[in-house]
A = this chain, B = another copy of it.
Amino acid sequence: MRITIDVTPRDFAALKESIKNSNPVDIAEGLEELDDQQAVKYFRMLPKDTAAEVFAYLSSGMQQNIVDAIKDFEISHIIDELFVDDAVDFIEEMPAGVVKRVLSNLPADKRDIINNFLKYPEGSAGSIMTIEYVDLKEHLTVAEAFDRIRRDGVDKETIYTCYVIDTARRLLGAVSVKTLLLSSLNDRIGDIMDRDIIFASTSEDKEGITNDFRKYGLLAMPVVDNENRLVGIVTVDDVLEVQEEEATEDFEIMAAMSPSDEPYMKTSIWKLSKNRILWLMLLMLTATITGSIIGGFEDALAVMPVLVTFIPMLMDTGGNAGSQSSTLVIRGIALEEIETSDILKVWWKELRVSVICGGALAIVNFGRILIMNRSASIGFSVSLALLVTVVLSKSVGCLLPLFARKCKLDPAVMAAPVITTIVDAGALLVFFGIAKAVFHI
């Protein structure tokens, strides 16, 4: 489905033809592969209505490149044609100078709407909603509703769910086009609309909205203000993107990086480095604490140097066991399957799982040491330390994300890297404690 734009001038006609039959998404993708100047050249050849649609799908880098290169009245046309949510997304990514230039070239009413939308906090329903919906009144008939959809529908982001409001714009219900089509033309909207609808307030978190879309299989969700007035809708295509972005963000945070919404291949090495270096630094410095714990047991190691060979296995297993638990809990919290009130249930579950896993690992480990080191007492000490480490790690792994959530922090921070660093120290203290007791060193 990919369009490759041929950039030889003699192909203008062919290009125009190929654009006519192409999806705006594919045209945008084709433009991204050209250099900046050529992309602008081809962008300006697009028919006006296609141009705005293609613009919405471009990366913010390419959007800025185009805005920098074209005339003010052209910008004004494109931004005015965009759905409000796309216009807001675009403006949020632009430097202040560009924003000023764009806004000052818009019609006053559109500028006011965009300025209002820019005030909604990042991650809220308000920040991802749009205003291109169809609203109906209770007293309309189905026939009148169809007239209204035919008249206004062409510029709406969805017409398949229409929202019913009163004269004060308060949300009363919703009616789907399917219901309209299956009703008689004389039915009143107020009689056929669904009053039990799922809606969001502007300040609601977009992650919760995503979960509601998935749970109820929604195509759109109305968004209301504090007075229950309809101010916008969120559509499923945006939710699909939000869900992907939220997961990617968690993947990145859980791997000790600052999240970024640029695709990897388009991110500069400076940005990539910046996103990684702070966490690496912090974790490196914390890990030196673990090092000094080993330093404190230098005497024991001098007597039994073999002990040092078990350190990587204990540290790695502890880290792995802990991050298994933290991953499940973090994901469970994100999907609203685990609540902070479940903390004791989760802990009890993890305690039993950790005894089963730790026990099995300890037995295998004991066997291996018996064969390779031929010492039951070493085998016993290491295996006991292993069991305690696994139990400890899984407790830390399941509890920390829930504590983070309780403190209104992002649970995803409490993932493998942080858990590993904490658990390392615990594993070593347990190990040397047991070894000292068993071998009287």
Pair A327/B251 contact, Cβ less than 8 Å: yes
Pair A352/B269 contact, Cβ less than 8 Å: yes
Q: Which residue of B lies closest to A218 (CB)?
A: B237
Within 8 A of B (CB), among A290-305: 290-292, 294-295, 298, 301-302, 305
CB distance from A259 to the nearest CB of B (A): 11
Measured in the bound complex, the distance between the Cα atoms of B266 and A346 in whole Å is: 11
Contact code string A200-229 (vs B, CB < 8 Å = 1, else 0): 000000000000111111110000000000
Contacts of A386 in B (CB 8 A): 284
Measured in the bound complex, the distance between the Cα atoms of B310 and A288 in whole Å is: 7
Contacts of A108 in B (CB 8 A): none
Given contacts A316-B284, A327-B257, A365-B284, contact A353 B276 (CB under 8 A): yes
Q: Is A395 an interface residue (CB 8 A)?
A: no
Q: Is A342 an interface residue (CB 8 A)?
A: yes
Contacts of A241 in B (CB 8 A): 214
Given contacts A240-B214, A291-B311, A313-B287, contact A178 B153 (CB under 8 A): yes
Q: Which of A214, A219, A416 has the most CB of B within 10 A?
A: A416
Pair A219/B216 contact, Cβ less than 8 Å: no
Contact code string A84-108 (vs B, CB < 8 Å = 1, else 0): 0000000000000000000000000
Q: Is A39 an interface residue (CB 8 A)?
A: no
Measured in the bound complex, the distance between the Cα atoms of B418 and A316 in whole Å is: 10
A316: contacting residue among B254, B283, B323, B349, CB under 8 A: B283
Contacts of A272 in B (CB 8 A): 328, 349, 353
CB distance from A18 to the nearest CB of B (A): 11
Within 8 A of B (CB), among A368-423: 368, 386, 390, 416-417, 420-421
Q: Which residue of B lies closest to A332 (CB)?
A: B264
Q: Is A69 an interface residue (CB 8 A)?
A: no
Q: Which residue of B lies closest to A240 (CB)?
A: B214
Q: Is A42 an interface residue (CB 8 A)?
A: no
Contacts of A319 in B (CB 8 A): 319, 417, 420
CB distance from A184 to the nearest CB of B (A): 10
Within 8 A of B (CB), among A330-350: 330-332, 335, 337-338, 342, 345-346, 349
Contacts of A216 in B (CB 8 A): 23, 25
What is the size, in residues, of chain A's interface with B at 8 Å between Cβ atoms? 114
Contacts of A364 in B (CB 8 A): 281, 284-285
Q: Is A356 an interface residue (CB 8 A)?
A: yes
Contacts of A236 in B (CB 8 A): 219, 236-237, 240
Measured in the bound complex, the distance between the Cα atoms of B357 and A281 in whole Å is: 9
Q: Which residue of B lies closest to A255 (CB)?
A: B327
Given contacts A312-B290, A416-B323, contact A215 B357 (CB under 8 A): no
Pair A153/B181 contact, Cβ less than 8 Å: yes
Pair B263/A287 contact, Cβ less than 8 Å: no
Task: Contacts A213-B240, A219-B237, A247-B251 known; list 5 others, CB within 8 Å.
Answer: A25-B216, A218-B237, A255-B324, A280-B390, A283-B316
Where the two chains meet, the residues of A that have a C-beta atom closer than 8 Å to any C-beta of B are 1, 21-23, 25, 146, 149-150, 153-154, 159-160, 177-178, 181-182, 196, 198, 212-219, 236-237, 239-241, 243-244, 247-248, 250-252, 254-257, 263-265, 269-270, 272-273, 276-277, 279-281, 283-285, 287-288, 290-292, 294-295, 298, 301-302, 305-306, 308-313, 315-317, 319-321, 323-324, 326-332, 335, 337-338, 342, 345-346, 349, 352-353, 356-357, 360-361, 364-365, 368, 386, 390, 416-417, 420-421, 424, 428
Give me 24 A-to-B residue pairs in the complex whose CB atoms sit less than 8 angstroms apart, sorted by A's number. Answer: A21-B196, A25-B215, A149-B181, A160-B160, A177-B177, A214-B241, A217-B240, A219-B219, A236-B236, A251-B330, A252-B331, A273-B357, A277-B356, A280-B357, A280-B390, A284-B365, A284-B386, A294-B311, A295-B306, A298-B305, A298-B308, A302-B302, A316-B417, A323-B417
